[in-house]
Amino acid sequence: MEPLRRIAIVGVGLIGGSLALALRRAGLVAEVVGIGRTQQNLDVALARGIVDRTGTDPALVAGCELVLLATPGAVLAPTAAAIAPHLDAGAIVTDAGSVKASVVRDCTAALGGRARFVGAHPIAGTENSGAAAADADLFRAERCVLTPVAGTDARALARVRALWEAVGMDVVEMAPEAHDELLALTSHVPHLLAFALTGAALAYRRTGTDAPDPFVFAGPSFRDATRVAASSPEMWRDILLGNATALRTALGAVRERVDELDDAVAAGDGDRIVALVGAASAAKRGAREAVARPEGTAVAPAEAPDTATVAPAAGPLRGSISVPGDKSIAHRALLFAALAEGTTVIRGVGHGEDNRSTMQVLRALGVGVVREGGEVRVTGRGFAGLRAPEGVLDCGNSGTTMRLLTGILAAAPFDATLDGDASLRKRPMRRVVEPLARMGALVDTTDGRPPVTVRGRPLRPAEILLNVASAQVKTALVLAGLQTSGRTVVEEPAASRDHTERLLPAFGATIERPRANVVAVTGPQVLHACTVDVPGDPSAAAFWLVAASIVPGSRVVIRGASVNPTRNGAVDVLRAMGARISERPVRSLGDEPVADLEVEATSLRATVVAGDAMLRAIDEFPVLAVAAAAAEGTTRFADGAELRVKESDRIAAMAIGLRALGIAVEESEDGMIVHGGRLGGGTVESHADHRIAMAFVVAALVAGSPITIRGADAIAVSDPGFLLTLAALRRGGG
Ligand code: S3P
């Protein structure tokens, strides 16, 4: 973010004060003016070095590039009106309020075109308030919602986004109404319940002096459930009144659940209680709240915690979104950083479970991995410094984690066992174990599959001809080769994705690429820490490319997606189907080309996906199959035998699912034929595969009636915010 010369914070409390502290610490602001109602709080802010100048006069905003309104909700619009005459032309005004629709409308009107307003809600805080509670770390790793509307200035929006990202927040955009509906359930109702429960405890205490004091005897559940009851009453008056409609709707839903439980208790119906508590408990234990968010996503209340029912789109998808950082690059960046000397900073590592698996495994190997806001910091130990793990290394669902680590650990001075979930346990490991054996590696598999035990030992270089094009295998061999003395050459039958080749040089390694399908490294080499910016994942972008292509009237911009030629097969396939996809200013993050992709709806026609296109779109097959189902004509997929050994047998999974929705499909060993037609509603299985689940969410958008996806919790493997992004696009606020 470009540093700011002078900003004003109106209301130097917990949020305003914390932002000033965080910006100052990062050296991102030269001067902070604090404006408030009481000089007493402003004096605390001055004494703590939060602000440079203070006062109660609204005219103090003159000369400020940016003004943050961090007052209680009810005074936001009057404050905007009071400062309006004193603002510099072009100044940006933003807020931090917990209610957005009314605030965006009223503040925009109050500013009367004198400034550029951007609605924002940093979702962070504690029960404490005032400048004394300000904390520079308050926003780290938390979410901030920006709520642009039709007239919002794009540059002001980008600056406000950069501001919150700079203090460590994960920024998402949403329509103001969508924000209010969501926050009603996730914040406003919980506060209201905390006030109500505390009120009931107070009433109990008043019942008589003999009764034990509930505040003294409270257990952890009472303490957890009432912690936020210590919040500021004025602030909560404004939030509850400011979001009354959405709050009361959400409260109604909670009340229904309370009544349901109450009825079951009254009726002595133990089975019913087990069912109700069981569903809640499973949802919490699975830590899958990200996908169990029905509000605004047009996903009906979940029948089971891992099931989602997605309604057809009622209108076009519109908005500008970003997708999680590319998973392939993130895994590599984390692993290379672990093997490097020094601390590597990686920006843009997505929050999916696969990335988490890699981070967890690295921690178990003694590597320092810390996520702070938008960055992951990895303190590497060098090739020789990894520590023998104490237990089994759990790679979860991630094949990339397991295969790349097998190559790394093959040369380690200890043994290690790698395991994963039921899906990973079905995936072939011989493809990596056999070529590694040619370098002297000793790896035991379980009938060719995980769990695998790697018996680390010194390796020798080798020249290896692979019989399957696989970037995972190629990378495992390169990482093993870097630990030998001599030249290792790996040749594939066709060129697979080349992220390893592009990223290793950033860590100071030398890697030769004599031909597109050949790599060579000469070991031993030492890696050095660096900074990596992970571009948006083209595989995640593909869902939106298809969704926006097939939902009539849609127009979606995907910001900052990788357009690495070894990965953008889906764009080529969709263009061959007639899709309207344009790429805007291509920039580079490291050696990876990046673009903003704009896609507009159109009618798709059938195509053939085979050979190189299939290889470059291998992970996008599930959603391309949905595109084929929605297209006119018969699409043929071939040369995709690999699809049978991904997170699920993706050919079978898509064929079964599409047939259940009324589409005629003929399966073959390495692909399938899809007869485009009218998608109907129904129930499909994800087969515990994130991409299958997301593909059917996209299918639901153009289906005749809702589609229920069993195992939708798998979505969290790569894009936990997927349904939230969909909700934003449905409302045109993406
Ligand atoms: C990946 C390579 C591909 C791909 C997988 C990720 C990688 O697998 O399907 O999702 O990051 O190297 P293969 O290497 O098995 O082709």
pLDDT in tens, 493-503: 999 999 999 99
Ligand 1 atom closest to Cα of 475? 12
Predicted confidence band of residue 401 (pLDDT cuts 50, 70, 90): very high
* Same domain as 196, residue 217: yes
Please check whether residue 450 lies inside any domain of the structure. yes
Please check whether residue 196 lies inside any domain of the structure. yes
d(CA 605, CA 488): 45
Name every residue whose Cβ is closer than 8 Å to that of residue 104 and which is 6 or more positions away in sequence: 117, 119, 147, 149, 176
* Same domain as 82, residue 61: yes
Which mutation among 326, 328, 424, 650 tests ligand 1's pocket best, with the greatest number of atoms within 8 A of CB? 328
Please check whether residue 570 lies inside any domain of the structure. yes
Q: Is the pLDDT of residue 574 over 60?
A: yes
366, 515, 546, 700 from 679: Cα distances, Å: 50, 44, 15, 8
Q: What is the pLDDT of residue 733?
A: 61
* Same domain as 563, residue 499: no
Please check whether residue 419 lies inside any domain of the structure. yes
Instruction: Identify which of 399, 392, 465 has the alpha carbon closest to the alpha carbon of residue 435.
Output: 465
Ligand 1: distance of its center to the CA of 403 in Å?
A: 10
Ligand 1: distance of its center to the CA of 722 in Å?
A: 21
Ligand 1 atom closest to Cα of 469? 16
CA atoms within 13 A on the CB side of 716: 18
Over range 206-234, report the average pLDDT: 83
> What's CA 464's distance to the chain center, in Å?
37
Over range 434-463, report the average pLDDT: 98
Ligand 1: distance of its center to the CA of 24 in Å?
A: 42
Q: Is 367 in the pocket of ligand 1 (CB under 6 A)?
A: no
Ligand 1 atom closest to Cα of 431? 15
Q: Is the pLDDT of residue 656 over 50?
A: yes
* Same domain as 426, residue 307: no
- One-letter amino acid of 487: R
pLDDT in tens, 330-385: 999 999 999 999 999 999 999 889 999 999 999 999 999 887 767 899 999 999 99
CATH code (residue 233) = 1.10.3660.10
Ligand 1: distance of its center to the CA of 382 in Å?
A: 25
Instruction: Identify which of 643, 652, 696 has the alpha carbon closest to the alpha carbon of residue 428.
Output: 643
Q: What is the pLDDT of residue 305?
A: 56
**Would you give the DSSP letter of residue 709?**
E
Q: Report the 10 Å Cβ neighbour count for 202.
A: 11
Please check whether residue 292 lies inside any domain of the structure. no
Q: Which two tokens mark 557?
A: 């911009």
Q: What is the pLDDT of residue 103?
A: 95
Secondary structure (DSSP) of 464-508: EE-SS--HHHHHHHHHHHTTSSEEEEEE-SS----HHHHHGGGGT
Q: Is the pLDDT of residue 158 over 90?
A: yes
Over range 14-23, report the average pLDDT: 96
Q: Is 471 in the pocket of ligand 1 (CB under 6 A)?
A: yes
Take atom 15 of ligand 1 and give the residue whose Cα is closest: 470
Q: Is 618 in the pocket of ligand 1 (CB under 6 A)?
A: yes
Please check whether residue 552 lies inside any domain of the structure. yes
**Average pLDDT taken over every residue of the chain:** 92
pLDDT in tens, 262-290: 988 988 888 888 888 988 887 776 543 33
CATH code (residue 16) = 3.40.50.720
Q: Which two tokens mark 268?
A: 């002595």
Final residue before a domain boundary, out of 512, 533, 554 = 533
Q: Is 470 in the pocket of ligand 1 (CB under 6 A)?
A: yes
Q: What is the pLDDT of residue 523?
A: 95
Q: Is 564 in the pocket of ligand 1 (CB under 6 A)?
A: no
Q: What is the pLDDT of residue 623?
A: 98
Ligand 1: distance of its center to the CA of 497 in Å?
A: 8
Spot the catalytic one: 419, 596, 619, 719.
619
Q: How many domains does the chain have?
A: 4
* Same domain as 169, residue 113: yes
Q: Is the pLDDT of residue 295 over 50?
A: no
Ligand 1: distance of its center to the CA of 293 in Å?
A: 30
Take atom 4 of ligand 1 and give the residue whose Cα is closest: 619
Ligand 1 atom closest to Cα of 473? 14
Q: Is 243 in the pocket of ligand 1 (CB under 6 A)?
A: no
Ligand 1: distance of its center to the CA of 471 in Å?
A: 6
Three-class DSSP category at 63: coil
Q: What is the pLDDT of residue 207?
A: 73
Q: Is 326 in the pocket of ligand 1 (CB under 6 A)?
A: no
* Same domain as 572, residue 469: no
Which mutation among 332, 429, 472 tests ligand 1's pocket best, with the greatest number of atoms within 8 A of CB? 472
Which mutation among 355, 496, 717 tests ligand 1's pocket best, with the greatest number of atoms within 8 A of CB? 496
d(CA 610, CA 608): 6
Q: What share of the chain is helix, strand, coil (3-state, %, to 5)?
A: 45, 25, 35
* Same domain as 568, residue 518: no
Instruction: Identify which of 39, 138, 55 has the alpha carbon closest to the alpha carbon of residue 96.
Output: 138
* Same domain as 213, residue 103: no
Q: What is the pLDDT of residue 691?
A: 98
pLDDT in tens, 694-709: 999 999 999 999 999 9
Q: Is the pLDDT of residue 292 over 50?
A: no
CATH code (residue 349) = 3.65.10.10
Burial class of residue 393 (count of CB atoms within 10 Å of its CB; 0-12, 13-18, 19+): buried
d(CA 91, CA 177): 25
Which mutation among 328, 357, 400 tests ligand 1's pocket best, with the greatest number of atoms within 8 A of CB? 400
Ligand 1: distance of its center to the CA of 664 in Å?
A: 29
Please check whether residue 149 lies inside any domain of the structure. yes
pLDDT in tens, 102-138: 999 999 999 988 889 999 999 988 777 889 999 999 9
Ligand 1: distance of its center to the CA of 691 in Å?
A: 13
Q: Is 400 in the pocket of ligand 1 (CB under 6 A)?
A: yes
d(CA 409, CA 403): 10
Q: What is the pLDDT of residue 127?
A: 73
* Same domain as 141, residue 226: no
Q: Is the pLDDT of residue 596 over 50?
A: yes
pLDDT in tens, 47-93: 999 999 999 999 999 999 999 999 998 999 999 999 999 999 999 99
Q: Which two tokens mark 507?
A: 């860590």
Take atom 13 of ligand 1 and give the residue whose Cα is closest: 470
pLDDT in tens, 454-478: 999 999 999 999 999 999 999 999 9
* Same domain as 500, residue 639: no
Order of strands across the sheet that contains 66-69 = 53-55, 29-35, 4-10, 66-69, 92-95, 116-118
Q: What is the pLDDT of residue 734?
A: 60
Residue pair 279/304 in contact by the 8 Å Cβ criterion: yes
Ligand 1 atom closest to Cα of 468? 16
Final residue before a domain boundary, out of 140, 174, 208 = 174
Residue-number span of the structural domain to which 670 is assigned: 297-324+536-733
Q: Is 378 in the pocket of ligand 1 (CB under 6 A)?
A: no
Ligand 1 atom closest to Cα of 471? 14
Final residue before a domain boundary, out of 174, 198, 233 = 174
Take atom 16 of ligand 1 and give the residue whose Cα is closest: 470
Which mutation among 336, 466, 470 tests ligand 1's pocket best, with the greatest number of atoms within 8 A of CB? 470
The C-alpha torsion from 675 through 678 and 683 to 689, rounded to 10°, is: 50
Take atom 10 of ligand 1 and give the residue whose Cα is closest: 619
Ligand 1 atom closest to Cα of 331? 11
Ligand 1: distance of its center to the CA of 367 in Å?
A: 24
pTM: 0.65
Q: 43 catalytic, yes or no?
A: no
Give the percent of the chain with pLDDT over 70. 96
Take atom 11 of ligand 1 and give the residue whose Cα is closest: 328
Q: Is 472 in the pocket of ligand 1 (CB under 6 A)?
A: yes
* Same domain as 463, residue 352: yes
Q: What is the pLDDT of residue 219?
A: 82
The three-state DSSP-derived secondary structure of 154-219 is HHHHHHHHHHHHHCCCEEEECCHHHHHHHHHHHHHHHHHHHHHHHHHHHHHHHCCCCCCCHHHHCC
Q: What is the pLDDT of residue 303?
A: 44
Please check whether residue 121 lies inside any domain of the structure. yes
d(CA 625, CA 499): 26
Pairing label, strands 580-589, 592-600: antiparallel
* Same domain as 331, residue 319: no
Ligand 1: distance of its center to the CA of 170 in Å?
A: 27
